[in-house]
Amino acid sequence: MTLLVVALGMICLLSLTLGAASVPPDQVVRALFGDPPSRLVDNVVWSARVPRTALGLTAGAALGLSGAVMQALTRNPLADPGVLGVSAGASFAIVLAAGVFGLGSFHGYIWFAFAGALAASVLVYLLGGLGRSGPSPVKLALAGISVTSLLSSLTSAVVLTDPDALDRFRFWSAGSMADQDGATVLRMLPFLLAGAALALACAPALNSLALGDDVATSLGRRLGLVRLQGVAAITLLTGAAVAAIGPVVFIGLVVPHLARVLAQSAGLGPDHRWLLPLSAVLAAGLLLAADIVGRMIARPTEVQAGVIVAFIGGPFFIALVRRRRLAEV
């Protein structure tokens, strides 16, 4: 964890340094401590780079935490807010709030994001549980992909009725942290802190749940309360992150698996008291790194961070599905 935090600090410094207008690290440090070499450097660091970096840290940590909690609750290694339709539900609700009800502020549509995320997660779980065998990892993944496709089509239908909203939506839907100010981070921070507190508080119960429902019940866990707490955490974390940066997929899928590898190599085992913090730190670093790569490969323009993450997560998801299918055979 110490090494990861140090690496995350280095990624933050790179995020403050690199971009369309690169700033030397020593000038960045001077600007952070109130002694900028010029007004231009001060504006670049404090007006553009610091809010963007803070947003990447908070939104990435939220998506990593929600993915880890979702995989633990469903005991499904393919679970992810993007794959299981939670992000798509939040996105559709946000577009509905903006296009139909005319809500344009973060505090106005954030409640729609929470409602959409919750409704989509419930719908996917119900569809994935149809049949005698009940919910399985592959069935839940297929149900999530189906619900995501449906909600994406409905979102496009709403957006096409408002040409002015179309340009804003195309940029936001790709998963971008550009053109955001510090106020956005401050507005989403209370929801993220509440979601993170709920997620970390249920870590011991998730350890019991991994042993099976019967064992968890015999250990004194109230399964209904644990699942309710987990769903509340996922809704808060995913809804706030999607409202701020758009529906970035695969962060919550890839990162918990990396956290498990690190935990196993450190001799910690599948302990969610470590897996959840590891997932938060890794996800924040991955999202920031993707944002930096997107800035550098197409200068002076940029590729949105969500596109870079999709290039990483897509093959990872296919490999996981193939491994699960071979294991079931």
How many Å apart are CA 127 and CA 146, to the nearest integer? 10
How many Å apart are CA 114 and CA 273, to the nearest integer? 26
Sign of the torsion angle spanned by Cα atoms 92, 98, 104, 107:
negative
In one-letter notation, the amino acid at residue 31 is: A
Q: Which two tokens mark 52?
A: 């963007």
In one-letter notation, the amino acid at residue 76 is: N
Give ∠ CA 48-53-56 in degrees, rounded to 5: 125
Closest CA to 145 of 160, 127, 131: 127
Hey, where are the domains in the chain?
54-328
In one-letter notation, the amino acid at residue 275 is: L
Would you state the pLDDT for residue 328? 44
Has this prediction a pTM greater than 0.85?
yes
Task: Reply yes or no on whether the pLDDT at 40 is more than 80.
Answer: yes
- For residue 138, with 0-12 CB atoms within 10 Å meaning exposed, 13-18 middle and 19 or more buried, which class applies? middle
H, E, C per residue of 232-246: HHHHHHHHHHHHHHC
Q: Which two tokens mark 21?
A: 């207008």
> No. of H helices and E strands in the chain?
15, 0
Is there a cis peptide before residue 300, judged by omega within 30 degrees of 0? yes
User: Mind listing the pLDDT tens digit for each residue in 236-295?
Assistant: 999 888 888 888 888 888 899 889 988 888 888 888 999 999 999 999 999 999 999 988
User: Mind listing the pLDDT tens digit for each residue in 159-170?
Assistant: 777 665 665 666
Looking at the domain 54-328, which fold is it? ABC transporter involved in vitamin B12 uptake, BtuC (1.10.3470)
Calculate what percentage of the chain has a pLDDT beyond 70: 91
How many Å apart are CA 232 and CA 12, to the nearest integer? 29
Task: Reply yes or no on whether the pLDDT at 321 is more than 70.
Answer: no
